[in-house]
Structure 1
Amino acid sequence: MLYFDGFVGLVTLGLWIFCLVDVIVTDEASCRNLPKLPWLLLVLLIPLVGSIVWLIAGRPQRAPGAPTGRYERQAPGFPEYDRPGRFAATSSQDDEEFLRRCRERAEAQRRKAAEKRDED
């Protein structure tokens, strides 16, 4: 029985240290439900309960697949070329058609702006 008590104590100590370090390195704006200082005091003064409550209610939620590093840039939901609705030419003729339509639209906008300028 003594071994079991020692094991539970070590697990509790490890959980407490993990949560204490996690509260310290978590950004102030990322803490949920309370500011950072009350979370730190809760985990320090009531180690087991405070640690469990921090893990459940205070720790920032991370999106699945989001970068975990502190200084890593958050990636958009879709990579640039996999965005829904993005035009991707399947053949060179489609690409030429798209570019032609863009040029025509740009010319129409230029003519409209020139006409408006002449009216003023």
Structure 2
Amino acid sequence: MLRLLPFLLVLALLIYAFIDCINTPEEEVRGLPKVVWLIIILLFGEILVGPILWFVVGKQRRVPAGGSTPSEWHRGHRATYVAPDDNPEFLQSLKKENQKDEALLKDWEADLRRREEELRRKEQGEDKD
């Protein structure tokens, strides 16, 4: 079993790099076209060069949360993110949704009252007979 372990690790890394390359959007691929990276991964996968090159050179690394990316420095300033409870557009959308819900609830209540009245009339009509 221990003899197979290095082979299985190399195979797992090869498969992982291949699938990662396929799933990576074209704009995040650096250096070469995605098809060329797939060929490199497959051709040099047995000696680990292909998958290692893909992870080190070919794939653009994502910056962790809180870091800055080039898109955040658009027009010379950093993008600002607002919490939902401080975002006026979000609060307006909540108010509109709440008003729709209240109107629907009023319609349901009016329909319920109307049906109750109809039932009372029918019961009173049957009691007289």
Residues 1:79 and 2:74 aligned together? no
Match in the other structure for 1:7 = 5
Match in the other structure for 2:97 = none
Work out the CA distance in 2 between the residues paired with 1:34 and 1:5.
35
**For 1:35-94, what per-residue CA distance to the aligned partner results, in whole angstroms no more than 9, with x for missing partners?**
11110110011112100110111112101028xxxxxxx99854226xxxxxxxxxxxxx
Work out the CA distance in 1 between the residues paired with 2:79 and 2:60.
19
Q: CA RMSD in A?
A: 2.4
Identity %: 33
Work out the CA distance in 1 between the residues paired with 2:57 and 2:43.
17
What is the CA distance between 1:29 and its match in structure 2? 1.5
What is the CA distance between 1:4 and its match in structure 2? 3.2
Please, which runs of 5 or more residues in structure 1 have no aligned partner?
67-73, 82-120
Q: 2:13 aligns to what SS in structure 1?
A: helix
Normalised by the length of structure 2, the TM-score is 0.49
Q: Which has the larger radius of gyration?
A: 2
Work out the CA distance in 2 between the residues paired with 1:28 and 1:5.
38
Counterpart amino acid of 1:13?
L
Match in the other structure for 2:94 = none
Normalised by the length of structure 1, the TM-score is 0.52
Work out the CA distance in 2 between the residues paired with 1:5 and 1:29.
40
Total equivalences in the alignment: 72
Runs of 4+ in 1 over 3 A off after TM superposition: 74-78
Of residues 48-57 and 3-12 in structure 1, the stretch that sits farther from structure 2 once superposed is 3-12
Q: 2:40 aligns to what SS in structure 1?
A: helix
